[in-house]
Amino acid sequence: MMEHDLILVLDFGGQYSQLIARRIRDLHVYSEILPYDAPVETIRPKVPKGIIFTGGPRAVTDERAPLPDQAIFHLGVPILGICYGYQLMARLLGGQVVEADTREYGSAVLTPDVTHPLFAGVEPETVCWMSHTYTVSEPPPSFRVIARTPSCPAAAAADDRARLFGVQFHPEVVHTPRGNDILRNFIRLCGAKDDWIMENFAEETIARLRAKIGGGKVLCALSGGVDSSVAAVMLHKAVGKNLTCIFVDNGLLRTGEAKAVEETFRDRFDMRFVRVNAETRFLSKLSGITDPEEKRKIIGAEFIRVFEEEARKIGAVDFLAQGTIYPDVIESGSKHSAVIKSHHNVGGLPETIDFKEIVEPLRDLFKDEARRVGLALGIPEGMVFRQPFPGPGLGVRCLGEVTEEKLLILRRADAIFREEIASAGLSRDIWQYFAVLPDLRTVGVMGDERTYSHTIALRAVTSLDAMTADWAEIPHGVLKIISNRIVNEVPHVNRVVYDITSKPPATIEWE
């Protein structure tokens, strides 16, 4: 199987750490993320072609500032420090870092040395995105300044002999228009091959799955969403009839969802497909539960219990397969990051499971990468670009306690929202759109009578990778139609609101 060149990203806790890895992959070079304190003994066997130090929230002058294994500078591979990573490199190698006289947050005019290979092809004056309080006042003695802004005289510096480079700005964000060119130039300085292509990934992963699983049996947790669907098709290509897909109808699905999933996978893909009707079971477990994290963990644990029971019916199932993707892992927290929300298939898993191993073919992919794999596998576009749907389903869109009555209201409102977005021709322009039922009621007037009924919140966002998102600017006329339909067609609803918050500070889902 093909071995890919690697650009390693060391994460110092910056808000854009995952985005850096994402941008490197966009340039067709494989990247991985490790925590900032990964020992050189862990890094060396990976044979990285280059290393990137990310930004971070701490000051390098802080006594408890996160530091890498300093033997990393003796590996002999190019290193690019971004923001905190640049300041860290400067401080460790003999430069000076101070609190800036003028803080820079937002766009700045960058004047690079266009003769330097890091800025090859970049204009003599361009825009970059700054987000820093501290600055490199003196680069290390072996470095020379290769870019500046009006407020930052050493906006970038380089030690060409040691192949060490630092930039104070953020080339990974879209607000730095030539950022991808700068990252591409760094990749060239590393000598890394641009062979990270989703078609190749699919073929290689299927081969690895076949070698790993051998003649073992696999049970795949299939929701019908793009992630689990892609995982299921890859596994089917790898092990054929040794795969059984389990679809759990937990009562937390959208209108018509269960039937559509069953028809697609049983008929189109000719897979071993088992539908488990578990609505009563899940709703009874969720009775009286209002905390969103507790709901997620209950749903995650109950999924595993159902899969274990079905596996015992099949007999001697070795592997549980899931459609986990990279943002699920990031948001569920790790040693060096906060838990944003526990995903039912990561942080929501119980401590003990009755399987030899969990298989996650897409664990290192972002959503759009998973979609490209799906297209490469020949999965229909309608399924590949289907609306993302959380594993806990409507359980985390029905705020507060989950009841049958509230789920009925939410399903009807959500169906109307999706119908009208499709009717307006906006379904491919919006990354994700759905209805939420907040745990509140408001006063209204219907038929000259006072009402005290539910509110429906509409959420629609645009995004590339689900790590960041902007609220979608749906035309007012479309929103008006949706609102009118919901309050007229959905019982016990008298108010509709539209969420205009981006991620961050919010998440895409409400719980």
- Angstrom distance (rounded) from CA 95 to CA 87: 9
CATH, domain range 198-384: 3.40.50.620
Range(s) within the chain of domains with CATH label 3.40.50.620: 198-384
Give catalytic residues, as residue numbers: 83, 170, 172
Q: Write the pLDDT tens digit of every residue in 82-133.
A: 999 999 999 999 999 998 776 667 889 999 999 999 999 999 999 998 887 8
Domain with CATH 3.40.50.880 in the chain: 6-190
Q: One digit per residue, pLDDT tens: the chain, 511 residues?
A: 467 899 999 999 887 888 899 899 999 999 988 999 999 999 999 999 999 999 988 899 888 899 999 999 999 999 999 999 999 999 999 999 998 776 667 889 999 999 999 999 999 999 998 887 889 999 999 999 999 999 899 999 999 999 999 999 999 988 899 999 999 999 999 999 998 888 788 888 999 999 999 999 999 988 878 898 999 999 999 999 999 999 999 999 998 888 888 887 877 778 889 999 999 999 999 999 999 999 999 998 998 898 888 888 888 888 989 888 876 766 554 444 443 334 444 444 445 556 778 899 998 788 888 988 999 888 888 778 877 788 789 999 999 999 999 999 999 999 999 999 999 999 889 989 999 999 999 999 887 788 899 999 999 999 876 767 899 999 999 999 999 999 999 999 999 999 999 988 888 999 8
For the stretch 51-74, pLDDT in tens is 999 998 889 988 889 999 999 999
CA torsion angle 249 509 30 51 (round to 10)? -140
**Per-residue model confidence (pLDDT) at position 2:** 61
Q: Could you tell me where in the chain the CATH 3.30.300.10 domains are found?
A: 397-498
Look at residue 283 in the predicted model and tell me its pLDDT: 95
CB 130 within 8 A of CB 104: yes
Inter-CA distances, 211 with 3, 208, 238, 245, Å: 16, 5, 9, 20
Which top CATH class is 6-190? alpha beta
pLDDT for residue 209: 93
The pLDDT of residue 340 is 36
Q: What are phi and psi of 334, to 5 degrees?
A: -150, -170
pLDDT at residue 342, rounded to an integer: 41
Helix H or strand E encompassing 407: helix 404-423
The pLDDT of residue 330 is 60
CATH 3.30.300.10 fits 397-498, yes or no: yes
How far are the Cα atoms of 206, 248, 311, 362, 436 from residue 265, in angstroms, in the given order?
A: 19, 14, 19, 19, 28
Letter string b/e over residues 191-200, b meaning 16 or more CB atoms within 10 A of that residue's CB: ebeeebebee
| SS (HEC) of 46-69 | HCCCEEEECCCCCCCCCCCCCCCC
Give residue 386's pLDDT. 79
Token reading at 179 = 């950022």
